[in-house]
Structure 1
Amino acid sequence: MIVVSNNEGGCGIPATAQMLADGRAALDALEVGLRLVEADESVRTVGRGGWPNLLGTVELDASVMDGTTFRTGAVGAITGFLHPVSIARQVMEQLPHEFLVGEGAMRFAREIGAEAGELLMPHAENAWNRWFATEVDEADRRNWPNVPMRELCKQAIDPELGRDTTVFLGQDSNRNIAAATSTSGWGWKYPGRLGDSPIIGAGSYADSRYGACACTGVGEMSIRAGTSRAVVLYMKMGMSVADAVYEAVEDMRRLVGGLVGRVTIHAIDAQGNHKVVAVNGLPENHYWIWREGDAAPHAEPAEIIPISDDPTPRPTAHGRYEVMDL
C-alpha cells in the first residue's frame, strides 16, 4: 500500500493513509483526504479559499479515476460548491458520462445534494480588489465586466507562486490503484479556463496493472504533452517508474511557445515504488508519502530538473508570458 500527495496535500494525507491501513478502497481514501484539503482555507489553490478568476469568481475543477475499471469522473469550472472531488466521484458513480463542466456540472451538483457554500474568502477577495484597482485601467473599470480580458489574462501573475493543485495517488491492500485531483486553478485566469487537473490523461491517470501519475503546476504543459497517460504507458512498455517520469520530462522539452514553466510530476507503480520530479522546480518543492508500515506520512524533496534557463515570468514581443508559475 502507498499514497503520494503533493506539497498541498499535507492536511489530508494522514486520513487517507489511515483508511488504507484499515483496508479501505483506494478511491474512497483519496476522496476523504482531498475533501480535507478542499475545506482548508489556508490552502489557496484548492476549494474554499482558492484564488478567483479575472471576474473575481472562484472556479473549481476536480477528477477521479479508478485504475481497475478505468471509470473516471471529472468536473470543471464549477462555482458555489465546497467539494468538487465528491461531485466528480458521483459523475463516475451515477452518470454514463465522464466529464461535466460549468452550468451542467452545477445542475448535477444540486441534483445530488452536493454541499454548497461560499468559496471566495476575504484574503482572496481583498487580493482581487487590489489587483482590480491597480492593474485595470480606469476606462475598463467603468465598463467592467464588459471589456476584453485576453490581455489582462496574459499579464496577470498568480498571487501565490509555488503553490499547486492537490493530487493524490494511492494503492490499497487489494492492489487497486486510483488517482484524484482538485484545484481552483491559476489565480486571475480567464473565466472558463480548464487546466490539466480535470482532464484524464493530462493531469492524472491510473492503471492498476502498472501505476498512476498526476501533475501539478502549469497545466497547459501537461495537456499538450498528455503527461500522466504517457508516464503510465511508459511503465506499460517496461520502464521503471523513474525512467517513465524522465521520459515524460523529455516530452515536455519538445514544447515550443505557449506557457512553459513549472510542473511537478508525481508517479507510483504497481510494486509500491514512486518518483516525483519538479520540472523547473523551486528549492522548496516537496511531496508527502506514506507506505504500509509507516507510522505517519512524511515529506520528501522532489527531484528538480530544469528544462529552461529562467523559470520566471517574462513577456515575449507579443506581450505574452512564455514562462509562468500557474
Structure 2
Amino acid sequence: MILIANSEAWPGFARTVAALKAGTYGIDAMIEGIAEVEREPKVRSVGYGGWPNMIGEMECDAGVMDGTTREVGCVGAVPSTIPVAALAREVMRRLPHVMLTGAGARRFADECGFARDDALFPDSKRVWWERLEQELSPEERAKFPDIPLAPLNHTITDPERVRDTTVFLARDAAGGTHAVTSTSGWAWKYPGRLGDSPIPGAGFYADSRYGAAACTHTGEMTMRAGTARSIVLGLRMGLSLIEAVDLAVADVRDLTAGFIGALVIHAIDIHGNHRVVALNCHEPIRYWLWHPALAAPEHREAEHLTA
C-alpha cells in the first residue's frame, strides 16, 4: 500500500491512512479524507475555504478514477456543493456519463440527497469584493455583475492565490491504484472555467497495472500536455517512474505560448515508488507520504525543477 497527497491534505490525510489500513477500497478511503479537507476553512484552495469566481459564486470541481476498471467520475463548476469529490464518485457509480457540470451537476446532487451548502466562506467574500472594488469604476460597481467580464480577466483572476488543488493517490490493500481530486479553482476565475482537476488524463489518471499521477497549480498547462496520462503511459511503455515524470515535464517545458505558470506533479507506480516534482515554483512545496513501513505519515519536500 501507499498514499501520497499534496500539503493541503493535512485535515484528512490521517483519516485516509486509517481507512486504508482497515482494508477500505482506495477511492472510498480517499474521499473520506478529502471530505475533511473540503470542510476545513483554513484550506484556502478547496471546498468551503476556497475562493469564488469573478462574480462571487463558488464553483467547485472534482474527479475520481478507479485504476482497476478505469471508470471515471467528474464534476465541474458545481454550485452550492462542498463535498464535490463524493459527488464525482456518485457520477461514476450511478450514471453512464463521465462528467457533469454546473446546474446539471447540482441537479444530480439533489437527486443523490446532497445538501445545498452555503459554500462561500465570509472571509473569501470579503477579500473577493475588496479586490474587485479596486478595478471597477463607480458606474461598473452599480451595474455589477451585468458588465463585460473578459476585460477584468487579466487583472482580477488570481491563479497564484490558489496554490494547491487537493490530490490523493493510493494503492490499496487489494492492489487497486486510484486517484481523487478536489478544488475550488483559480480565485476570481471567469464563471464556468474548468481547470485540470476534473479532467481525466490532464489533472489525474490511474491504472492499477502501472501507476497513477495527479497535478496541482496551473491546470491550463496540463490540459494542453495531457500530463497525468503521459506519466502512466510512460510507465506502460517500460519507463521507470523517474523517466516517466521527466518525459511529462519535458512536454510541459516545451509550451511557450498561452498561460505559463507553476506546476506540481505527484506520481506513484505499482512497485511502491513515488515522485513529487515542482516546476517553476518559487516557494518550497511539500507533500504527504504514507506506506506501511512508516510509523506515521511524513510531510516531505518535493523535488524542485527549473524551467
TM-score bucket (shorter structure):
over 0.9
Residue matched to 1:183: 183
Deviations 1:222-261 (A, max 9, x none): 1000000001001111111111111111000111211111
Report the CA distance shift for 1:172/1:305 in structure 2 as closer, same or farther (over 3 A).
Answer: same
- How many angstroms does 1:128 deviate by? 1.0
Supply the distance in 2 between the matched residues of 1:132 and 1:182 (Cα, whole angstroms): 26
8 Å contact 1:75–1:87 — kept in the other structure? yes
Query: 1:125 corresponds to which letter in structure 2?
Result: K
In structure 1, what is the equivalent of residue 299 of structure 2?
Answer: 299
SS at match of 1:182: strand
RMSD: 1.2
- For 2:36, give the aligned amino acid: L
Alignment of 1:78-117 (within 5 A): 78-117=78-117
Displacement, 1:99? Answer: 0.3
In 1, Cα distance between equivalents of 2:64 and 2:136: 37
- Residue 10 of structure 1 corresponds to which residue in structure 2? 10
Q: 1:18 to 1:210 in 2, by over 3 A?
A: same
Aligned to 2:222: 222
Letter in 2 for 1:277: V
User: Do structure 1's residue 69 and structure 2's residue 44 form an aligned pair?
Assistant: no
The answer for the alignment partner of 2:22 in structure 1 is: 22
Q: For 1:272 and 1:82, how far apart are their aligned partners in 2?
A: 32
**1:258 aligns to 2:255 (yes or no):** no
Point out where structure 2 has 5 or more consecutive residues left out of the alignment. Answer: none
Residue 58 (structure 1) aligned with residue 58 (structure 2): yes
Asked if 1 retains the 8 angstrom alpha-carbon contact of 2:165 and 2:183, the reply is yes
Secondary structure of the residue aligned to 1:265 is strand
Distance 2:138 2:77 in 1: 29
SS at match of 1:155: coil
Distance 1:122 1:243 in 2: 45
2-structure distance, mates of 1:61, 1:214 = 14
Deviates more, 1:170-179 or 1:157-166: 157-166
TM superposition score normalised by structure 1: 0.92
Report the AA paired with residue 167 of structure 1.
V
Q: Does the 8 Å contact 1:162/1:282 carry over to 2?
A: no
Once the two structures are superposed, residues 171-209 of structure 1 have per-residue CA deviations (whole angstroms, 9 ceiling, x without a partner) of: 011110000000000001000000000000000000000
Report the 3-state secondary structure (helix = DSSP H, G, I; strand = E; otherwise coil) of the residue aligned with 1:283. Answer: coil
Q: In the aligned structure 1, how far is the partner of 2:85 from the partner of 2:122?
A: 23
Question: TM-score when scaled to structure 2?
Answer: 0.97
The more displaced of 129-138 and 257-266 is 129-138
Number of residue pairs aligned between Structure 1 and Structure 2: 307
How far apart, CA to CA, are the structure 1 residues paired with 2:157 and 2:75?
25
Give the Cα–Cα distance (whole angstroms) in 1 for the partners of residues 49 and 118 of structure 2.
9
Alignment-mate amino acid for residue 238 of structure 1: G
Looking at structure 2, the residues matched to 154 and 306 of structure 1 have their Cα atoms a distance apart, in angstroms, of 25
Identity across matched positions, percent: 48
Quote the offset at 1:138 in angstroms.
Answer: 2.2
Structure 1: give runs of 5+ residues left out of the alignment: 308-326
Cα 1:162–1:88 change in 2 (3 A) is closer
C-alpha contact 1:75 1:198 (8 A) present in aligned 2: yes
Q: Tell me what 2:285 maps to.
A: 285
Q: Relative to structure 1, is the Cα distance of residues 160 and 44 closer, same or farther in structure 2, using a 3 angstrom cutoff?
A: farther
Distance in 2 between residues matched to 1:294 and 1:29, nearest whole Å: 18
The 3-state SS of whatever aligns with 1:125 is: helix
Greater shift, 125-134 or 266-275, is seen at: 125-134
Paired with 2:175 and 2:208, the residues of 1 have a C-alpha distance of: 7
Query: 1:311: which partner in 2?
Result: none
CA–CA separation in structure 2 for the residues paired with 1:304 and 1:243: 16
C-alpha deviations, 1:119-174, integer Å up to 9, x for none?
Answer: 11111011012012212222221221111111211222528636210000000111
Give the distance between the partners of 1:175 and 1:238, measured in 2 at CA. Answer: 19
What does 1:202-213 correspond to in 2, within 5 Å? 202-213=202-213
CA–CA separation in structure 1 for the residues paired with 2:129 and 2:283:
31
Partner SS for 2:134: helix
Alpha-carbon distance in structure 2 between the residues aligned to 1:223 and 1:102: 20
Q: Match of 1:33?
A: 33
For the structure 1 residues 221 and 184, does the alpha-carbon distance in structure 2 shift closer, same or farther, using more than 3 Å as the test? same
